[in-house]
Amino acid sequence: MKKNIKLTESQFKNVIESMSKVGLTTEQEENEIPIEGIESSDELEYDEIEEPNPLSVSGHFKEDELGQIPLDETDIDELFDYTEGSRRRFIGVIYYDALIPATDDIEYDKKIAMGILENERRKMMNAETFLDSNESVHFRDKLY
């Protein structure tokens, strides 16, 4: 475990002077050098070791019985606001299945469907989204 030690300027000068006076031959001797101005290690201040952000630790969000991780709006906002460490970009496809009134003009119906998809796409915050007007809308012949 690595620890940072905070020294005053005079303590640092004493460490440098002590090291220049002593010929170090082993690690054991290095640890036993008396340093003027520092009476015991209890006087030294140690920085707290920073714990990793919980969002960057696997298992922070618990899986359900199906092995999926259910997230609510607060969880998603927290994930998108994360900037403290490395992040991973993902790309996903969302399947949207809905019914609209059928007209006798299929191209008009596609424009209506694209309008619905575009409206839903704009609701997706903190993400780059894309709709291809030629490939994003398909109609089925059978309703079920």
Q: What are the pLDDT digits (tens) for 94-108? A: 888 889 999 999 999
Task: Kindly report the length of the chain.
Answer: 144
Examine the domain organization and report whether 93 and 81 are in the same domain: no
Q: Burial letters for 12-37: b for 16+ Cβ neighbours within 10 Å, e otherwise?
A: eebbeeeeeeeeeeeeeeeeeeeeee
pLDDT for the residue numbered 1: 46
Instruction: Identify the domain containing residue 113 by its residue range.
Output: 89-144
Mean pLDDT of 63-76: 87
**What percentage of the chain reaches a pLDDT higher than 90?**
8
Cβ–Cβ under 8 Å, residues 85 and 79: no
Average pLDDT over residues 117-128: 83
pLDDT at 71: 87
Q: What gap in Å lies between CA 12 and CA 10, rounded to an integer?
A: 5
Mean pLDDT over 28-55 rounds to 61
Q: Verify that 74 and 118 share a domain, yes or no.
A: no
Six-digit token pair at 31? 């640890």
Q: Say how many domains are in the chain.
A: 3
- The reply to whether 103 and 132 lie within a common domain is yes
3-state class (DSSP) for residue 85: coil
